[in-house]
Structure 1
Amino acid sequence: MLPLNGIKVVDLTRILSGPFCTMTLADLGAEVIKVESPKGDDTRQWGPPFVNDEESAYFLSVNRNKQSIVLNLKEEKGKEILLKLVEDADVVAENFRPGTLEKLGIGYETLKQHNPGIILASISGFGQTGPYAQKPGYDVLAQGMGGLMSVTGEPGGSPVKGGYSLADIGAGMWATIGVLAALKERERSGVGQWVDASLLDTMISWQTYLAGNYFATGKDPKPLGGAHPNIVPYQVFGASNGHFVLAVGNDQLWQKFKAVMDLDILEDERFATNPRRVDNRDLLISILEEAFKEKTVQEWVSVIEEAGIPCGPVNQFSDILTDSHVKEREMVVEANSPELGTLQMLGIPVKLSRTPGQIDSLPPQFGEHTDAILERLGYSEEDIKSFNHSGVSANQSEQNVN
């Protein structure tokens, strides 16, 4: 039994933030029914690359362990089928612009009428309330408005977004946490609630010590490249053949680091404590940058790690995704499909000792489970044929979004 066995999720999400949330729930055992519009999840067509010229690599990355049913929610019969799905569900997840479900006639109040215990998880750019609620939400917009881009990049350079979709993924994680909390609370109260997660709130919540620095000083934090505003040296350095990360997180580590470097200048009182090193950051970093040019990344990492100081290479994906540690941690796994062959994908990051999550199925083809789900809901073969013929639903054999 997986932790979320018995939990049923009706998944109206698409693109990234919502599918990441529902995939996490699915990995932990929830039954996730992905409800797609007749056009399909946008990311089914986001490529290249496509795997075997069929499935978008983007779509495949966040939709495993799910079933796919195609419903036209603009049709009354489509909404009727959806509400029938909701009757015995635990969670409905969506990431439309606020108000969209209400316009479709399937908002939270309607869902509650059909299932008082339902938990609605809504992910949006700016939340369900507030002056910005109706703004369209995109990851890069949230990174910019949420402050991340103002502190990312090199000093004096243009603002830079994170290389991953941090706002989308983070909002999906907060929504997952909210769903789990709401499920636990429902055990006491017997009723569901509305989980409201947003990309902007995610970016703000992750400011942590940078916001604390601002509250303490009233000064905006500035970009420091690969450095840290409160700890020195704690950043990326260049070696003769690449880059590595050094994290001298306290004064005890500093004493060990000085011994490794064997530079008389590091005995200077200006570097004796972390506050002094922060005050004299530019001088210290210039000294270290010059010294680190003398050896390779591998040589520096070896000698610094041997002294017990946190240090590691700046890896390319081809380095870390083939790393023996990563493989042993099952963070890169393989699954097989008759259509796609052997497919590599990222593993499950939360390791549970008794009931670990697992990957049971590859991401579904468009409408792959439409007929089976409709049959489980009690519709006859004639009903299902009628739904598919009239455009209320669609199955895998009749549709192809690529």
Structure 2
Amino acid sequence: MSALPLAGVRVLDLSRVLAGPLCAQVLGDFGAEVIKVEHPKRGDDTRDWGLRVGKTETAYFNSMNRNKRSVTVDLATAEGQALVRELAKQCDVVVQNFKFGGAEKMGLGYEQIRAVKPDIVYCSVSGYDRHGPEATRPGYDLVIQGESGLMAINGEPTQQPLKFGVAAVDMFTGMYAAQAVLAALFDRQRTGQGRHIEMALFDSGLMISAYYGLEALLMEKDPPRYGNAHPSIVPYGVFDAKDGPLIIAVGNNAQFERFCIDVIERPDVAADERYKTNLVRGQNRDTLVPLLLAEIGARPRKLLLERLAAVGIPCGEVLGLYEALTSPRAVSAGLVTRQPHPVAGQMHVMAPPYRMDGERLPVRLPPPVLGEGTREVLRDLLGFDEQRLAQLEAQGVTKTT
């Protein structure tokens, strides 16, 4: 592959857990050199979450930290804070998600970094609007899924509000943040000026509500919950065939007619005025859905999938997560890689989801062992000699694993 688009860009990742690290990982995927600063003993919080890989990594940590180097610095010390300011001078982007005011207390806030690096692109990730009354509140994905109304649109109508299976607010915030950083870097090429990007988890959580959110505003009340069904399109969701679940997504009226005639062999349903258009199907779902459930449940899944595919109706199996990750589809696309690991021998690392010029972006660096790049980065970027490196380690400011 030719040079990656962000080759030559250097990112200082001062963030931890999910949203900030995902932002930095995206930049690393596109070729940026990402330096992840971590506490010498604990590292990123997620190094202690979930299933262990080796001595200092977990599956959770590995999911958000490929294509990075790990540098350990104790930011509670004046020496560590000064060291990170020196690193920031050598970087184009800083990403941080300290509690409100925390970066400033350490001399690492936007204005303080801009004073030593005027064209810095600086991204602050927080829980809530940094200019509002809740600026000091810490942000947690689960709390914000509740406060943003996202839990209220998930699950069946008979269930309690339900969270997403993954930390969706954190992940969307990380992706939005990466988009903003890319825009700021593009603008810097034209103006020579840096930017301060401010991302709030609550803001991103509200944006995820998308069409549900706009419908709630139109109705001036919460929209109904439909579980695996679609709020506007019928039939569109997960259905139980005779021998297992499948997904059927009938997207328009022509598809519905083919579905009735060619798949479930019920032309009378296609001709019924109550079901002629998607709008009236939605209004009459209470009578239509039970009818469809009975017809689908009487047929084997393989037959249904064959018939659906033959008439061009979107459909698919409902797979378990492990089954999906190891499926021929995922394997042929190269979406899961095996990377070398000094303790475990090998570990699974997801590949970046992007292709450029026909090639998938590479995993250039596996998720790092805690502190693996400390000596090399400080030597190469700051010119520290062995004596200085040994002194910092003896003082507990840094640590090499």
Q: Tell me, what secondary structure is at the counterpart of 2:36?
A: strand
- Hey, what does 2:328 align to over in structure 1? 324
CA contact (8 A) 1:28 1:356 kept: no
Aligned to 1:387: 392
Indicate conservation of the 8 Å contact 2:260/2:269, yes or no: no
Residue 360 (structure 2) pairs with residue 351 (structure 1): no
Does structure 1 conserve the Cα–Cα contact (< 8 Å) formed by 2:97 and 2:125?
Answer: yes
Deviations 1:308-352 (A, max 9, x none): 001111211122111222222221222223432232222211111
| Cα shift at 1:386 | 1.1
Contact 2:47 2:57 in 1 (8 A): yes
Bigger shift: residues 140-149 or 178-187: 140-149
Residue in structure 2 matched with residue 234 of structure 1 by the alignment: 236
Aligned to 2:337: 333
> Which residue identity does 1:177 align to in structure 2?
Q
Residues 49-101 of structure 1 deviation map (CA, whole Å, 9 limit, x = unaligned): 21256631211222121111111112111111111111121000112222111
One-letter amino acid of the counterpart of residue 69, structure 1? V
Equivalent residue in structure 1 for 2:374, among 365, 370, 375? 370
Q: Matched residues in 1 for 2:62 and 2:22: separation?
A: 11
Alignment CA distance shift 1:138-1:25 (3 Å) = same
Q: Quick check: 1:212 aligned with 2:214?
A: yes
CA distance in 1, matches of 2:53, 2:301: 35
Work out whether residues 237 and 289 of structure 1, in 8 Å CA contact, stay in contact via their aligned partners in 2: yes
Q: Is the Cα contact below 8 Å between 2:56 and 2:369 reproduced in 1?
A: no
Question: Partner of 2:355: helix, strand, or coil?
Answer: coil
- Superposition deviation, residue 173 in structure 1: 0.3
Residue 181 of structure 2 is aligned with which of 167, 179, 182?
Answer: 179
Matched-pair identity in %: 38
Secondary structure, in 3 states, of the residue corresponding to 1:394?
A: coil
In 2, distance between residues paired with 1:66 and 1:285?
Answer: 50
1:196 match:
198
1:297 aligned onto 2:292:
no
Number of residue pairs the alignment of both structures matches: 395
1:275 matched residue in structure 2: 279
Q: What whole-Å deviation, never above 9, does each CA across 1:92-126 have from its counterpart, x for those lacking one? A: 01122221111222110000001011111122222
From the superposition, tell whether residues 365 and 170 of structure 1 become closer, same or farther in structure 2 (CA, over 3 Å).
Answer: same
Secondary structure of the residue aligned to 2:356 is: coil
Matching residue of 1:309: 313
Q: Which residue of 1 aligns with 2:291?
A: 287
Distance in 1 (CA, whole Å) between partners of 2:270 and 2:257 is 10
Select which of 40, 44, 53 maps to 1:41.
44
Counterpart amino acid of residue 301 in structure 2: V
* Closer, same or farther: CA 53–92 of 1 in aligned 2, 3 Å: closer
1:135-150 correspondence runs (5 A):
135-150=137-152
Structure 2: distance between partners of 1:90 and 1:356: 25
Structure 1, unpaired ranges of 5+:
397-402
- Alignment partners' CA distance in 2, 1:157 and 1:354: 44
Amino acid of the structure 1 residue aligned with 2:49: W
User: C-alpha distance in 2, partners of 1:250/1:154?
Assistant: 24
Q: CA RMSD in A?
A: 1.6
TM-score, normalised to structure 2, is 0.94
Task: Output the CA distance in 2 between the equivalents of 1:11 and 1:130.
Answer: 25
SS of equivalent to 1:289: helix
C-alpha contact 2:349 2:366 (8 A) present in aligned 1: no
2:169 pairs, out of 167, 176, 186, with 167
Give the stretch that moved more between structures: 210-219 or 368-377. 210-219
* Residues 104, 190 of structure 1: alpha-carbon distance in 2 compared, 3 angstrom cutoff: same
Q: CA separation in 2, counterparts of 1:60 and 1:214?
A: 37
CA gap 1:111/1:76 in 2 versus in 1, 3 angstroms: same
Look up the SS of the partner of 1:362 in the other structure.
coil
Q: Alpha-carbon deviations, 1:192-248, whole Å to 9, x = none?
A: 111112221112112221122223332321211111111111111122232211111
1:63 to 2:65 alignment: yes
Q: In structure 1, which of residues 16, 21, 26 is the aligned counterpart of residue 23 of structure 2?
A: 21
**What's the offset of the Cα at 1:46?**
1.4
Match of 1:10 in 2: 12
> Structure 2: 5+ residue runs without aligned partners?
none
Show the 5 A alignment for 1:126-137.
Answer: 126-137=128-139
Give the secondary structure class of the aligned counterpart of 1:309.
coil
Partner Cα distance (1:53, 1:178) in 2: 35
TM-score, normalised via structure 1 length: 0.94
Contact 2:55 2:343 in 1 (8 A): no
Q: Distance in 2 between matches of 1:233 and 1:82?
A: 56
Task: Deviation per CA, 1:276-314: give whole Å up to 9, x if none.
Answer: 001001111111111221123333222212210011112
